[in-house]
Amino acid sequence: MAQRNLKHAASDRCTLCNEIEDAPHLLIKCVHKLDVWDSSFKEFLSYPKSADPQQIYSSIMRFKLNQCYLYHHDLHITIYDFFATIMRTIWRHHYRQFYDLIPFDAIQACRHIRTELLRLSSLRSLSH
């Protein structure tokens, strides 16, 4: 495999905030990623309305997301769809920095999440 655009991959530091980048930081705790979680919580959840990184990480690790409630009852998605879409989008947008040299943009990530959740809901509503 070619080593293209991977000069930052050897560092254990987040390219966005320079904190040590472990899995929780990459997906949740980085302030730029937390903006994505917080915006998504505000848009789609009735409870909680703001994202607590410790609570998110703990809920994901225990696979206990039943304390979160979707706001839009007309959306045909589960809370697991919601969390998985956010994590997948953050992962994807994060690694676009390395492979495509596209900077991480929380607003773009939120737009992508909204689009994906609406698309998934639409697909599910067709099957009912």
Element (H, E) at 106: helix 106-127
Would you list the domain boundaries of the chain? Answer: 23-126
List phi, psi (to 5°) of 46. -90, -25
| Residue 5 Rama label (left phi>0; alpha psi -120 to 50; beta) | left
The rounded distance, in Å, linking the Cα atoms of 123 and 125 is 6
Q: Helix (H, G, I), strand (E, B), or coil: what is residue 10? A: coil
Quick one: tokens of 106? 């929380």
What's the pTM value of the predicted model, to 2 decimals? 0.84
Predicted confidence pLDDT, tens digits, the chain (128 residues): 344 555 555 678 998 899 999 999 999 999 999 999 999 999 988 878 788 888 888 888 888 877 666 776 678 888 889 999 999 999 999 999 878 999 999 999 999 999 999 999 998 887 75
